[in-house]
Chains A and B, each alone.
Chain A
Amino acid sequence: MRKFLTYFFALWVLALVTGVSVAGLRGSLSRKPPLEVFPDMDRQPKLRPQTTTKFAGFADGLSSRLPVAGTVARESARELGEFQTGKKADGAWVDAMPVAVNREFVQRGRERFGIYCAPCHGAAGDGNGVTTKFGMAAVAKLHDERLIKMSDGEIFNTISNGKNLMLPYADKLDPQDRWAVVAYVRALQLSRLGKKEEIPDAVRSTPK
């Protein structure tokens, strides 16, 4: 009896130690993909974005497709006007943004600016964002006279299509958001151009 139980527990401990050392603990890092013991319908042959497909019609094997040549997505089917291009019909830059600007709009611009522009241009537009410490050269200072005088349309165009070393941001910001960023850039510029008298009494704080 004793003997049997001794052997049994010895084997049990051995099996336990082997099992745990092979299987590891919860959360231990592994290069192996998750085990799917009962696959059920976990992975279906439908197309999901940004993955590969064996469908013969898509020779490059990409599930996310570019538009077929000559087609236009519904939301961009509207005629390209000032709102989408920042240009007037005659090709000149739009002077003032073709959207209604309110506080909410500028706030949106501020948020988007923080995400997409501040890494290079700096939170206050001084051209000293974090990337400039790592070799990003010739980042525009948004408070330069040249940019203060630049028309809204041209700034919009720079965001959309890039300029010099700056790459386009049209894929990150839709036209509405680009105009919002333009509005916020104007607000940043104004913050250094404004005079004390222009601040309404209600919001002016008296220096101590």
Chain B
Amino acid sequence: MSDIFPKWTNQLPVMAGVAAAVLGATALAGITYYVTPKYTRVGYQPKQPVAFSHSIHVDQLNLDCRYCHNGVEKSWFSNIPSSSTCMNCHSQVRKDSEKLQLVRDSYASGKPIEWVQIHKVPDYVYFNHSVHVNRGISCVHCHGEINKMDEVYHAKPLSMSFCLECHREPEKFIRPNELVTKLDWKNEGFDGKKAVHDWKVQPGQSCSTCHR
């Protein structure tokens, strides 16, 4: 028999076992690491038609988020500003800049600029901006440090577990309501627990809170 099955074949099952274990562990690790919005969504940075820098407008010039995204306190949807909003200043500031040609064209023609949407929850998720920004939840929690971004990218996973992290412990994230657009605010002694209680913040955790 030893001519057909040399001696080393005795170890074949062990070798196969080792190989299978290593491959299995690798596949598991790969799936854990890659098959999650932390990989698939985070880092998405599309090229926008106009090179608008949030860092210049917010960090340097200190504009409030709501100057442009003025619907965010009233609507479930946070609007992208119309080009007339840009023209409030750019009819005079840098009014001949080549970079702003598209904005001027859009303002003149009424045809919107085709900005690329970055943050998209699935269509079966109901997310309401206004209820968050009116209860002390800042833009920064879901959008990251937009104020520091020259070119916006998807900074947070916006996965279901991401939403639930905050819905389970809102006191860790809540802040004074008038500071929701101050993205670099640091909590120094603000009592989140008390705010959650006093403002009757009840972030639901049932399915129908978001899937309605």
Contact = CB atoms under 8 A, between A and B. Distances in A.
B124 A41 contact: yes
Given A27-B43, A28-B43, A37 B35 contact: yes
Secondary structure class of chain A's binding surface, majority of residues: loop
B89 A5 contact: no
A136 B194 CA distance: 44
Interface residues of B, number: 54
B18 interface: yes
Interface stretch (B57-65, B131-139, B164-172): B57-65
Interface string A8-44: 1100100010010001001111111111110011111
B89 A50 contact: no
Contact of A34 (B35, B84, B112, B154): B154
Secondary structure class of chain B's binding surface, majority of residues: loop
Interface of B: 8, 11, 15, 18-19, 22-23, 26, 30, 33-35, 37-47, 61-64, 66-67, 70, 77, 79-80, 82, 84-85, 87-89, 91-95, 111-112, 117, 120, 122-124, 153-154, 178
Interface of A: 1, 4-5, 8-9, 12, 16, 19, 23, 26-37, 40-44, 46, 48-51, 60, 62, 111, 114-116, 119-120, 130-131, 134-137, 165, 167, 169, 171-172
17 contacts: A1-B15, A8-B22, A26-B38, A26-B43, A27-B39, A28-B43, A31-B46, A36-B40, A60-B111, A131-B93, A136-B89, A137-B92, A165-B91, A167-B91, A171-B84, A172-B67, A172-B85
